[in-house]
Amino acid sequence: MHNPALLVLADLALVLALGSLLKPLLRRLRQPPVIAEIVAGLALGPSLLGLLPGNPTEVLFPAPVRESLSAIAQVGILLFMFLIGWEMNMGQLRRQRGEVLAVSLSAIAVPFLAGMALATYLYAHHDTVGGHRVDSLGFKLFVGAAMAITAFPVLARIVRDCGLRKSRVGTVALAGAAVGDLIAWCLLIVVSVVAVSAGPERLVRVALLGAVLAAVLVLLVRPLLRRLLRPRAGRLPELVLPVLAAGALATAYCAAVIGLDGIFGAFAFGLVMPRDLEPAVSERISSPFEQITALLMPVFFVTTGLSVDITRLGGSGLLELAAILVVACLSKMLAAYGTGRLIGLGHRDAGLLGFLMNTRGLTELVILNAGMSLGVLDVPMFTMMVIMALVTTGMAGFVLPRAEPEQPTIPAPAPRPHAGEGSPTDASAGAAPQHSGAPTR
């Protein structure tokens, strides 16, 4: 098939079909939908399909088709980040109890520092991307931040499926991950500014322009959104959804022009969305975006899988991968376990907390793709970090179902409704505004 446009259609059909087939198979292993979609992306890439005679990966996904798929995936990930931003509750940090703050901060600080220490060793082997030397500090900060991530959406799904939602360990994990996500995204914005700045002058420029963009969003865009989302005669204007989508994409473009990755712009646009909308209004807005991202996110996983090539790791790469897995798992799990014990959890529950906080899911892949686009990660480093995201997300599914849920010890807020298991997110209380959508990855 020589027509790239027709091949894009065929590839989209293949991506959606393969993801749908893998989900029920992996669900039997208590794996969340994101695992099936990651595996589908890896299977279609050079790590598996590309090993067959004739390199079917290159036949199915030639360069022009990859560009089109990347554009489609970019739309999906930006709308996903808009929902993630809307999901964040900026007042959460002030309202949480000390034990939740202790869990979230320790589960970020320890992996961040451990990741930076490991990156000091890895940098010598991954200091050049595309012929350009990667800034040492930017590389170390980025690896540390990637290690610190906990994917709240997929964690919420696992907690619900394992019957831990009303237990103390479940509520502490959910609230801790929600607060941790907020801190981690703020940290990643700072890290990205440092990573893309070749010197102090550009660093100041990116920081100043970023501050200007933030001021415009808070002082101008937020009041306009509040007026736009005010129902008139019980109905929202028909232009609401197109305006919100355009706003998320335009803010992403502005962030990219400044020098940041576009995901931070879409995320920031979600942050300034009103949080006090009526439930029916929130549902009417969030549901279409959830359905759109449910269809587009599998394309993101395939474009990610096309950039992952396990065959290029070699012996030294496998040793580095082992080091990454050990540091990622031990730093997260020991930090959460130790803090869990300090706040009064038993040995078993503190261990469960460690596995829960170790899940990274789609959030990690978003960050890693940003690292690729910013020129911070080369292909081998990207490959190893993607495998780490897959392993740490899948670990909990094998361990937690074997443990009987605890009896409730403190009340937990009810989960919010979802558009579907492969669509934007399961959420729990504590971390969410009053709308009903956020990505379930």
Contact 390, 165 (CB under 8 A): no
pLDDT of residue 430: 39
- Please list the rounded mean pLDDT of every run of 10 residues in the chain (441 residues): 80 90 86 84 88 89 89 91 80 64 91 95 90 86 90 78 78 83 79 70 82 94 90 75 94 90 89 86 88 88 86 87 96 94 89 91 85 87 93 82 45 44 40 44 54
pLDDT of residue 233: 61
pLDDT of residue 94: 58
Contact 74, 249 (CB under 8 A): no
Q: Return d(Cα 248, Cα 1) in angstroms, integer.
A: 35
pLDDT of residue 234: 64
Phi, psi of 224 (to 5 degrees): -65, -40
pLDDT of residue 270: 92
Architecture of domain 4-402: Up-down Bundle (1.20)
pLDDT of residue 435: 45
Phi, psi of 29 (to 5 degrees): -95, 15
Q: Return d(Cα 56, Cα 71) in angstroms, integer.
A: 22
Q: Return d(Cα 193, Cα 182) in angstroms, integer.
A: 17
pLDDT of residue 408: 44
Tell which phi-psi region holds residue 430, choosing left (phi > 0), alpha (psi between -120 and 50) or beta.
Answer: left
For residue 274, what are the contacts with CB-CB under 8 A and spacing of at least 6? 222, 225, 226, 229
Tell me the sheet residues that pair with 235. Answer: 232
For residue 211, what are the contacts with CB-CB under 8 A and spacing of at least 6? none
Tell which phi-psi region holds residue 198, choosing left (phi > 0), alpha (psi between -120 and 50) or beta.
Answer: alpha
| 3-class SS letters over the chain | CCCHHHHHHHHHHHHHHHHHHHHHHHHCCCCCHHHHHHHHHHHHCCCCHHHCCCCHHHHHCCHHHHHHHHHHHHHHHHHHHHHHHHHCCCCHHHHCCHHHHHHHHHHHHHHHHHHHHHHHHHHHHCCEECCEECCHHHHHHHHHHHHHCCCHHHHHHHHHHCCCCCCHHHHHHHHHHHHHHHHHHHHHHHHHHHHHCCCHHHHHHHHHHHHHHHHHHHHHHHHHHHHHCCCECCECCCCHHHHHHHHHHHHHHHHHHHCCCHHHHHHHHHHCCCCCCCHHHHHHHHHHHHHHHHHHHHHHHHHHHHCCCHHHCHHHHHHHHHHHHHHHHHHHHHHHHHHHHHCCCCHHHHHHHHHHHCCCHHHHHHHHHHHHHCCCCCHHHHHHHHHHHHHHHHHHHHHHHHCCCCCCCCCCCCCCCCCCCCCCCCCCCCCCCCCCCCCCC
